[in-house]
Amino acid sequence: MRPLILVLLPQLALAAPSRKFTIEETFEVKPAAEAVTLFVPLPADDPWQRITGLTVDGAPFAEVHDPRYGNGAARIELPAAGGRISVRFAVERAERGAELAAATAHAPPNGYARWLEADALVPLDAHIRQIAADVTGPARTPLDKARAAYAYVLSTMKYDKPAGPNQGWGKGDIHWACDKKYGNCTDFHALFIGLLRASGVPARFQIGLSVPDGAAAELAGYHCWADFYVDGAGWIPVDASEAWKHPEKRDYFFGHHDANRVALSTGRDLTLPGMHGPPLNYFVFPYAESGGKPYGGINRTIRYAP
């Protein structure tokens, strides 16, 4: 097991760097015609992050979990007048390297099946399977297939978020990525994950926040990344969009996630207890319903502090 990891990532250090920071989120829910149910993602501990001091203020809440992946959320019932909710937590996040996956190198707890299935916007249709066969077919091992998919994504995609109407980037739509060949982290990783799943290699999606170095700052967006599974090595981290933005770190981001992030949820097409609308494409910002229908009247502010 160890020789495989050393061949994969010869530059890995034995001690993983880590950092500590706090996140404070404020959500202003505007008045609606009817009462509002608000779902706010709640971070959880995993082998690479530790969450402490989690508070949810502004209204009573129930902690619920999606039945497919176990992601946590605060479900908050608000009157039609709306309200103000604040969430605060501290994070200790470690750099994640493939050598850490060796501790969990057995089969995933629920088996491989889920991580080989399609998502709503990552179908494994004939078109995608043909691209996957062209890209990864010559590769002999799952690790080689992942390297081929990673190289393909970086050579064909452009990280770009143009303004204007009818822009389809940011949805993680694999057909958009194949056709338009640009987008953000969701589009990069939809393509990477879809190519691997179509090639028989388990792959999964995770989303959260990217945090800067240095002084406190407001966070305007989100960030997502991927893992693929190799027997004998475990889940191997990949961040294709960061590799595109930092080409000098291309080798690093095949096998690493840096510590400048916090994960909020895993997987796509999420349904939370008490939801009435369609499954969520992904869950990183609050989701609200009013009268049993999706409600978009939420202003959010998210701040990071070291």
pTM for the whole thing? 0.91
Domain 2-14+96-266 class, CATH top level: alpha beta
Of 2.60.40.2250, 2.60.40.1180, 2.30.110.10, 1.10.1740.10, which CATH number belongs to 18-93+286-305? 2.60.40.2250
CATH 2.60.40.2250 placement within the chain? 18-93+286-305
Residue at 162: amino acid letter: P
Cβ neighbour number for residue 57 with a 10 Å cutoff: 11
| Residue ranges, CATH 3.10.620.30, the chain | 2-14+96-266
Q: What is the pLDDT of residue 86?
A: 98
Cα separation, 163 vs 141, in Å, equals: 40
SS3 148: helix
CB 42 within 8 Å of CB 74? yes
User: Please, are residues 118 and 197 in contact by the beta-carbon 8 Å criterion?
Assistant: yes
Q: Splitting the chain (306 residues) into consecutive groups of 10 residues, what average pLDDT does each group show?
A: 33 63 98 98 96 98 96 98 98 84 51 91 98 96 95 97 83 96 97 98 97 93 95 90 97 96 98 98 98 97 97
Q: Quick one: tokens of 219?
A: 């966070």
Residues paired with residue 207 on neighbouring β-strands, in sequence order: 224, 265
Instruction: List the structure tokens of 112.
Output: 């491989």
Rg (CA), the chain: 19
Residue 231's pLDDT is what? 82
pLDDT at 167: 81
